[in-house]
Amino acid sequence: MNNLSSGNIKAMNTMAINAYCDQLIEITSLNQLMALTIPEQPVYILGEGSNTLFVDSKTPTLIRPNIIGVKVSETNTHFHLNVGAGENWHQLVQYTVANNMFGLENLALIPGSVGAAPVQNIGAYGVEFANFCHSVEWFDFETSEQLELPVAQCQFSYRDSIFKQALKGKGVITSVNLSLPKKWQPVLTYAGLNELNDTATAEQVMNKVIDIRNSKLPDPKQLANVGSFFKNPVVTQSVFNKLQAQYPDIPFYSQGEDQIKLAAGWLIDQAGLKGYRQGDAAVHQKQALVLVNFGGATGQDIAALAELVVETVAKKFAVTLEPEVRIVGEHGERLLIKSESQCLNQ
Ligand code: EPU
């Protein structure tokens, strides 16, 4: 039997938005998925709700994959882990480090479930999920079959994957297969980590990442938020040259030919919006890329603030910010702003 219920999903999204779900389907096994009659669209797959903004008073039908379990095997060179989509990501990171399987430590404290990790290719402090992904097991609603997608087919890029694009709404991730090389070196390229040296242990790196995150990013249990609200925008070299001429201190990260990534947090901060508050919706005081809900904000309030941020940054820098979070209305996923397609970043 599927675990079918309905109710308010405030406790199921870290932005603490009040919204009502008529059909909430909790899945704890592959057998349950196979027996499931996929409801009429729209359907939205919800993990721990740490990257979703519900903007209407109702949600679409929600499917929550709660398949748990971690299986570990090893070869001479690698540890292989099969991890159920319903496991908590940070607990997995802690488990691997405690058991001398290294690599995931830079991704500590990222909120959310393991099944959500491939969807937006979570990343932090110089490491991405894709770096350790061997394959993703995905259940296809149309054929009722589970497929194993090798990493090359997952189309991972910055905060993006096939699960957010061509496969969106067509199935659900059931587990991920990770491959952690036994030969390990710490990744200390990110500014805050380079005070550690090459002899740092994975545990030290993990603890440092936890300290940095705690110092900048609000704990959703204390102040509701969904992490970075926008992606760091990527602009062309010519757009960047003009910006740099005007703002010599602008942080940037070269992405290869003609692609420069900017820091959205810096743009929002320089646009004067850090700490800006409209009712209970606000731009976080310590990291302008994070929008927060002081308690009473609706999804529409947060979306209105996000629109103001996009417009203000576009006016000042002629750069278009795009949401990193997924915006979900009663009828499924949608864009934040209808004019979003007019991107200024070329
Ligand atoms: N900055 C400001 N003001 C701010 C925020 C940032 O000037 O209010 C500047 C910083 O001084 C720095 C630059 O902007 O020069 C970048 O800031 P930071 O290092 O804090 O990282 P980020 O680019 O804002 C990204 C990820 C985070 C990830 C960190 C560390 C995205 C959208 N965000 O943030 O991921 O933890 O790098 O790797 O790529 C998330 O996805 O939810 C998330 C938190």
Q: How is the chain split into domains, by residue range?
A: 2-65, 70-212, 218-340
Q: What is the CATH number of domain 70-212?
A: 3.30.465.10
Looking at the predicted structure, is the pLDDT value of residue 1 above 50?
A: no
CA 124 to CA 314: how far, in whole Å? 26
Which listed residue (159, 161, 213, 326) is catalytic? 159
Identify the architecture of domain 218-340 in CATH.
Alpha-Beta Complex (3.90)
- Distance from the CA of 262 to the center of ligand 1, in angstroms? 10
pLDDT in tens, 192-245: 898 899 999 999 999 999 999 999 999 999 999 999 999 999 999 999 999 999
Looking only at the bridges linking them, the beta strands covering 326-329 and 52-54 are parallel
pTM for the full predicted model: 0.96
Q: Cα of 163 to ligand 1 centre, how many Å? A: 24
Task: Confirm whether 324 is a catalytic residue.
Answer: yes
- Residues having CB closer than 6 A to ligand 1 are 124-125, 190, 216-217, 227-228, 231-232, 251, 263, 265-266, 269, 274, 287-289, 324
DSSP state of 138: E
Query: What's the gap between Cα 45 and its chain centre?
Result: 14
Write down the pLDDT at residue 338: 60
The two domains 2-65 and 70-212 share their CATH topology (first three levels equal): no
Please report, rounded to a whole number, the percentage of residues in the chain having pLDDT higher than 70: 98
Q: Which residues have a Cβ under 8 Å from the Cβ of 326 and sit 6 or more positions away?
A: 51, 52, 53, 164, 333
In the CATH scheme, what is the code of domain 2-65?
Answer: 3.30.43.10
Tell me if residue 237 falls in helix, strand or coil. helix
User: To test the ligand 1 pocket, which listed residue (232, 289, 312) has its Cβ within 8 A of the most ligand atoms?
Assistant: 289
pLDDT at 34: 94
Mean pLDDT of 43-60: 97
Instruction: Write the CA distances from 254 to 62, 236, 271, 346, integer angstroms.
Output: 39, 10, 23, 15
- Residue 147 Cα to ligand 1 midpoint, Å, equals 35
Predicted local confidence at residue 256, as pLDDT: 87
Asked if 64 is an active-site residue, the reply is no
Separation of alpha carbons 109 and 126, rounded Å: 15
The number of the ligand 1 atom at minimal distance from the alpha carbon of 122 is 41
Taking the centre of ligand 1 as the mean of its atom positions, its distance from the CA of residue 342, in whole angstroms, is: 24
Contacts 24+ apart (CB under 8 A), 257-264: 259/234, 259/235, 260/234, 260/235, 260/236, 261/158, 261/232, 261/233, 261/234, 262/232, 262/233, 262/234, 262/235, 262/319, 263/232, 263/289, 264/228, 264/230, 264/231, 264/232, 264/233, 264/289, 264/313, 264/321
**Nearest by Cα to 297 from 237, 229, 246:** 229
For a ligand 1 pocket test, name from 266, 286, 309 the mutation site with the most ligand atoms within 8 angstroms of its C-beta: 266
Query: Distance between alpha carbon 289 and the CA centroid of its chain, in Å?
Result: 13
**Which member of 64, 175, 324, 326 is catalytic?**
324
The amino acid at residue 36 is: L
Q: Is 135 one of the annotated active-site residues of the chain?
A: no
Burial of 40 (0-12, 13-18, 19+ CB in 10 A): exposed
Residue 340 has pLDDT above 60, yes or no: no
CB 291 within 8 A of CB 282: yes
Atom of ligand 1 nearest to the CA of 158: 39
Tens digits of residue pLDDT in 278-296: 999 999 999 999 999 999 9
**Tell me, what amino acid is at 59?**
T
- Tell me which residue has its CA closest to atom 36 in ligand 1: 124
3-state class (DSSP) for residue 30: helix
Please tell me which residue in 113, 228, 322, 326 is annotated as part of the active site: 228
Could you tell me where the DSSP H helices lie in 19-163? 30-35, 89-98
Which pLDDT belongs to residue 339?
53
Task: Judge whether residue 2 has pLDDT over 70.
Answer: no
For residues 346 and 236, the answer to whether their CB atoms sit within 8 Å is: yes
Alpha carbons 222 and 327: distance in angstroms, whole number = 22
- Looking at ligand 1, which residue's alpha carbon is closest to its atom 9? 266
Token reading at 158: 């910055």
Q: What is the mean pLDDT of residues 155-159?
A: 97
